[in-house]
Structure 1
Amino acid sequence: MGLLLGTALAASALGVGTITTAGAGQADTAPSVSAGLHRGHVAPAAAPAFGDDPDGDGYIPAVPPVTGVTPSDAEPPTAYFHEFQANCSVTHTAPDDPIVYPGQRGASHDHTFMGNRSTNATSVTASLYGGATACLAPGDSSAYWMPSLYKGDKKILPIGPQVIYYKSGVTDYRSVRPFPKGLRYVVGSPTQSAAEFRAHKGWVDGWECGNTSGLPDFPQNCPAGTQLNLRMQAPSCWDGRNLDTPDHKAHMSYPVVKPGGNMDVCPPSHPVALPMIEFKMAFPADGDMSQVRLASGRGYSFHYDFFNAWHEPTLAALVNHCVVGGLQCNARGYDETKPHRGAALTADYRLP
């Protein structure tokens, strides 16, 4: 528990509170790999009626739906960057998953939660929205989570604010609009093979540390003082109709290449361009990595979840100023290379 204590103290120093684990007196040990492969993001045969999905059919409709959108294939002004950061710290860990196992405490493999401090198996849009958060922007009450990482029997938690990018996934960055309230999805799968992880459309460089990168599984060794890093991108095209679907993926799509061209556009089935989330996680693990594993299995079982609970005006300000505006912004919507463009938020990360 020394690592957890040190992490908690570091988090406290950063003003994000203490990291907790589920269950008083619960042993902080890793579940077996085989158990992780059968628990997590494998949907139960029949989802129970709960919260945002009162009929239990797995579909959560957007009210109102977004219709009449044609994917943009217009050529925008040249802008190398069109992004902002949501810097969010770890808040707690628990064997919960409010997307895949809503209302079922302890039904999942262990997850590491960031952002909203209250996220648990019973979380719904109303309970998350406006809640306390460990993100720098108080308006970001969204829930972000991923399988917990272990080295031997010790849980390794990212320390301090992690980088969660909000980017344009399509060429015409001007067409990107904010997430609808309550949108949720899963990126990747705990049951994917190493080849499937490598071929995943959200793959970015794989696992890396030191000068080693491009690995679908954990490196054998990381130089002393380095961290274990991973980036993974989410789909950014939405069907405009559903906030969730039974597999937690079908309502979202990755952009496609326009036939006969080199532009990334949303497909007609998913015409609404939303921000592309990119996790950039840094785990404080080095040395011999032979005992490193995820709660879901090997390194290629990495996946993550997003449940949108942003304050709508705050998210809109950041998306419009930074993504649509073609800037490379920090968490307050400020591009240091273009100070004349100003910032979307104040110094305390709130709307002006």
Structure 2
Amino acid sequence: MKWSILLLQAGLSEAAIRFGCSTVSIQRLDPVVQPGMIPSAHVHQIVGGNAFGPKMEGDIGEQASCTTCVYTEDLSNYWTAVMYFRHENGSYMRVPQYPNAQLGTLGADDRTIKGGMTIYYTQKDFWDNGQEYITSFPPGFRMTVGNPATDSLDAARSNRGLRYTCLQDILTRGSETADFPTQPCPAGIMAIHHFPACWDGKNLDSPDHQSHMYDTTLGGFREAGPCPESHPIRVPQLAYETMWDTSVFRDMWPKDGSQPFVWSFGGTRGYGTHADYAFGWKGDSLQRVMNDSCMFHRCGSPGVQGVLKTQTVEEMNACAVKDMVMEETEGWLDELPGAGEAPVEMEGKWVAM
């Protein structure tokens, strides 16, 4: 698909937003990598609008009726694989998620949000917005980052936007690694996904869901490098943070000291971490905030009238997607959902589940 760009003469953009989204669904669906397949190869945790399903086409911002994100005009979908704990007896249990700290849009008790993750749209880095015009993603836009077939530490390190933090407390930052922490983390594991921010300006997707983008990301919310001529359009720097509460398994850590966590696609080292994005902001709302001069809470939060409208935690948590796969993903499981099924093609490679 092609998209013609009309750059707005609105001056240079200066906004950045950070907000929480509760869980909208946990099931084996992947409308970007495996559209129409029920079930997909592995379990995903999804946040955002309720237009999410096995196959999504067109402008999902016009199709969804609610969102689990704090900003009501954001009907996009964001998803990653699910983290499981593997017990010494060979059974598995899904690791619960908990909300990030200081979201600013959730009121006094951030932890009342239902799982989910934190979403960022930044323009230069975490502290400054720079002086470059930022173009919103267009309706129908899709992309992924990472690959579940990544099978070495060197390959994982080469993607500087995909990292883990062993949380000493909810505010721990830095000390990022490309693989799972090898020791128990007091406050859990934060999985971090930074997407590319250079677009070719033409294609809403590509066969591998990545070639229409170019990655100049340095990770750690540092300023990314300039976009190349092949991908000249600077779009918002999209990032996810998911707080996995691995601390609930601290009394079950294997006696041999081995790392017990595993992604839902079977990755035991963390190398294959990946994430998907389907744009669904309503109308021109994302471009509108990118053209504003607000940063984070000042773009809209309880008690602060900003360019974006917010909703309550109760309204976020009430939005949901029905289970279309009808399989057990909770409690103690004998095997990961999808394990033992025939190999499937994922992001250009055949992966045995």
- Which bracket does the TM-score occupy, shorter chain normalised? 0.5 to 0.7
Say if 2:7 and 2:135, in contact at 8 Å, map to a contact too. Answer: no
Q: Deviations over 1:45-100 (max 9, x none)?
A: xxxxxxxxxxxxxxx332xx22799xxxxxx89x8xx5212421112112211111
Q: Deviations over 1:231-279 (max 9, x none)?
A: 221001110110001010010112389xxxx983211111111001011
Distance 1:154 1:219 in 2: 18
Note the C-alpha offset of 1:127: 4.9
Distance 2:193 2:262 in 1: 17
Question: Aligned pair in 2 of structure 1 residues 285, 343: CA closer, same or farther (>3 Å)?
Answer: same
Question: Aligned pair in 2 of structure 1 residues 202, 256: CA closer, same or farther (>3 Å)?
Answer: closer
Write 1 or 2 for the structure with the bigger share of helix: 1
Note the C-alpha offset of 1:177: 1.5
Question: Aligned pair in 2 of structure 1 residues 115, 335: CA closer, same or farther (>3 Å)?
Answer: closer
3-state SS of the aligned residue for 2:30?
A: coil
Residue 67 of structure 2 corresponds to residue 133 of structure 1: yes
Question: Aligned pair in 2 of structure 1 residues 208, 87: CA closer, same or farther (>3 Å)?
Answer: same
Q: Deviations over 1:288-307 (max 9, x none)?
A: 38321101213121100000
Structure having greater relative contact order (Cα 8 Å, sep ≥ 6): 2
Aligned residue number for residue 301 of structure 1: 272
3-state SS of the aligned residue for 2:138?
A: coil
Q: Which sits farther off after the overlay, 269-278 or 227-236?
A: 227-236
Residue 26 of structure 2 corresponds to residue 93 of structure 1: yes
Residue 276 of structure 2 corresponds to residue 343 of structure 1: no
Question: Aligned pair in 2 of structure 1 residues 173, 251: CA closer, same or farther (>3 Å)?
Answer: farther
Say if 2:196 and 2:215, in contact at 8 Å, map to a contact too. Answer: yes
Say if 1:232 and 1:280, in contact at 8 Å, map to a contact too. Answer: yes
Note the C-alpha offset of 1:169: 4.8
Aligned residue number for residue 94 of structure 2: 155
Stretches of structure 2 lacking an aligned partner (at least 5 in a row): 87-91, 99-112, 313-353
How many residue pairs match? The answer is: 265
Say if 2:71 and 2:310, in contact at 8 Å, map to a contact too. Answer: no
TM-score by length of 2: 0.67
Stretches of structure 1 lacking an aligned partner (at least 5 in a row): 1-59, 70-75
Distance 1:263 1:140 in 2: 25
3-state SS of the aligned residue for 2:246?
A: coil
Distance 1:216 1:256 in 2: 15
Q: Deviations over 1:98-138 (max 9, x none)?
A: 11111111132111111123412122234553412101111
Task: Give the AA of the match of 2:123.
Answer: S
Task: Give the AA of the match of 2:47.
Answer: M
Aligned residue number for residue 315 of structure 1: 286
Aligned residue number for residue 218 of structure 1: 180
TM-score by length of 1: 0.67
Match of 1:181 among 139, 142, 149: 139
Question: Aligned pair in 2 of structure 1 residues 111, 264: CA closer, same or farther (>3 Å)?
Answer: same
Question: Aligned pair in 2 of structure 1 residues 346, 203: CA closer, same or farther (>3 Å)?
Answer: closer
Residue 296 of structure 2 corresponds to residue 329 of structure 1: yes
Residue 7 of structure 2 corresponds to residue 61 of structure 1: no
Match of 1:202 among 161, 168, 174: 161
Distance 1:256 1:128 in 2: 27
Distance 1:256 1:227 in 2: 25
